[in-house]
Amino acid sequence: MLKKPETLFVLGYMLLPLFALISAIVGLTMILGGNRIVGIIILVVVTQVFTFGAFFALRKRKAVLLQEPDIGH
């Protein structure tokens, strides 16, 4: 599944950055709402996991694209 460039494109450019943005908004909302510890954990840990996941997917996509032989040529 994680060897298709299309899947890695969707993960790296769309889904994981969207989840990182949503978790950052949730974390900031929790901090402003009074749940400081849980908000900081969500803001620091969960957002960073999604962000690094996106970078990982993009690097893996680049590696997969470089390994593919050119079928059309």
Q: Read off the pTM.
A: 0.82
Segments making up each domain of the chain, as ranges: 10-64
pLDDT digit string, tens, across residues 11-70: 999 999 999 999 999 999 999 999 999 999 999 999 999 999 999 999 999 999 898 776
Q: What is the pLDDT of residue 69?
A: 75
**Whole-number Å distance between alpha carbons of 55 and 46:** 15
